[in-house]
Amino acid sequence: MADTFVVIGGDAAGMSAASKAKREDPDLDVIVFEKGEWVSYGACGMPYYVKGDIDELEDLVAITPDEFREERDIDLRTHSEVVNIDREARTVTVENEEGTYEQKYDDLLVATGARAIRPPIDGMDLDGVFTFHSMDSARAVRDAVAGVADDEREGYGSEVGEYLDGEKPESVAIVGGGYIGLEMAEAFDARGLDVSVFEMLPHVLAPFGESIAEEVEDHLREQGVSLHLDTMVERIAGEGGEDGEDGRVAAIETGDERHPVDSVLVATGVAPNAELAVEAGIETGETGAIATDELGRTSAEEVFAAGDCAEAHNVVTDAPDYVPLALTANRAGRAIGSTVAGDPTEVGGIVGTAVVKVFDLEVARTGVIDSDEAQQAGFDPVSQVITAGSRAHYYPGGTPITIEMVADRETGRLLGAAMVGEEGVAKRIDTIATALHAEMTVEEVQNLDLAYAPPFSPVWDPVLTAAKVLSGKLE
C-alpha cells in the first residue's frame, strides 16, 4: 500500500510540496485539504487587481484545481477544513459540506498560511471597514470602490464583512503604513479616492530604515496622500446609533481629532495561522510561528510546516525569523516535497529580501538594517547613506538612488541594505541579497565585477559606491 502525504493548505507552500512530492514519487498518495475555493494564487498581485491593472481575479491563479487533479494526479479537496491533528493515530479530522471524517497520513505538512491582523479597535465591524489578505477580500474591496451593488456582488466568504450597498466611496483611510498599506494607497488613488494613511510608528515602512522612509513619505505627499505619522487610531466611528457604533463607517478618531472618511482599510500586518498545530502539541517559536528545522520538520514526528505559518532561518542573524513572503513559501514547500518523496532537501535560509512599488518609487530592503536588531544578533553595526545616479550622468533619463548600507565594524561583514529610487532598485537589491547569503564583507562587495553601460548604470554602480564609502568608514 502506498504511503499517504497529507497537506493542509492549498496555496504556495502546500501546492509546491504536493506537486514536487508527486512528481518525484508518482506512487505516493498526495491529498491536499483547502478550506476555501482558491488554490495556487498570487496574493502579491491583489493590490494591482484592485487598482485595475489586473482585469480578473482569476488571472492571479497559477494552476487551477482541475489542473492539479487531472494533470498532476493530486487529490485536491477544496471547501474542506482540517480541524484537528491526532499525532498518535496519524490522522486529521476534516469538515466539509457533507460532514466530518478522518484521513490517515504517513507524512503531514501544515501550510495553513497567515491571516490579516484585526487590531482591538472599536468599529472594526462597521460597514465599509475591510482587511486585505484573501482573494475574497480583494474582490470585496474592488467591488466596494467600484460601487458594485449588493445584488450584483458575489459571495466573499465569512471573513469579509458587509460593504457599502453599491455606493461608491469618495475617501479611504488606510490604517497601517507597511507594504500592503502603501500598495493599496496607490490602488485607491488610481480609483479616484482621497487617501489618508495612519501609522502608529514615526515612519512608514519601518523595516526599511528612516532615511529610505523619509523619501517615500515625501513622494506620498507629492501624490496627494495625507500622512498621519506617529498617530494611534483609537476608534473607527460609524454614522448610526447613539455612540456611532452601528451602520456605515463615518470617521477615524485619533485622540481628540476626528477625520471624516467613508471607507477604511485596516492593514496592520499578518499573524501566522499556527493554532491547529499548537492544539496538536506542536511547538512554536518566539515569533509565534511554527518552529521548524533545516528540513522544515516540526517538533512532531513526520509533521512538516512551511509558508506563512512557519518560521525560517535568517542567514544574517543565525536565528529563527518570521518573514511571510512568497518565495520563502514556495521554496520551502518544494524542498519538503522532495524530502517526503525520499530525497532529504534543506528548505534554505532567508535574508528578508523585499521590494515594494509606491507610486513612482521602487523601495527595497534585505538583511539587517536596524541597529538594535544588529546589536541583539551580536554585531557592532556601522551604517552609511549615499545617493548616486541610476545611469551615467550624461545619459538622459537617470534618477537618484538612495542606499543605506550596514556592516559589522569588527569583521567588515555586510549586514544589510535598503534603497529607494524611480528605477533600477528592484534588481540591485538582489546583488546585496546574494552577498548576504555568501557572508561577504563590504570590501568584497566593493570589488564585485558588476555590469556597466551608460543606459543602465554609472561606471561605479550605486551598490559599489555604497560599499566603497562604507568600507572607508570602517577603516
Distance, C-alpha 87 to centroid of its chain: 30
**Is 309 an annotated catalytic residue?**
no
Instruction: State how far the Cα of 403 lies from the Cα of 212, in Å rounded to an integer.
Output: 8
* Number of Cβ within a 10 Å radius of residue 76: 25
Q: Regarding beta strands 361-367 and 354-358, do their DSSP bridges make them parallel or antiparallel, or are they unpaired?
A: antiparallel
43 neighbors 115 (Cβ within 8 angstroms): no
306 neighbors 109 (Cβ within 8 angstroms): yes
**Nearest CA among 83, 96, 54, 71 for reference residue 18:** 71
Angle CA(104)–CA(110)–CA(114) in degrees, nearest 5? 145
Distances 91 to 5, 85, 110 between C-alpha atoms, Å: 11, 6, 13
Determine which one of 4, 23, 44, 234 is catalytic: 44
CA-based radius of gyration for the chain: 24
Q: What's phi and psi for 134, nearest 5 deg?
A: -95, 165
Instruction: State how far the Cα of 471 lies from the Cα of 157, in Å rounded to an integer.
Output: 53
DSSP string for 352-392: --EEEEETTEEEEEEE---HHHHHHTT--EEEEEEEEESS-
Block residue for cell numbers 528540513: 295
Instruction: State how far the Cα of 304 lies from the Cα of 292, in Å rounded to an integer.
Output: 7
Active centre residues (catalytic): 44
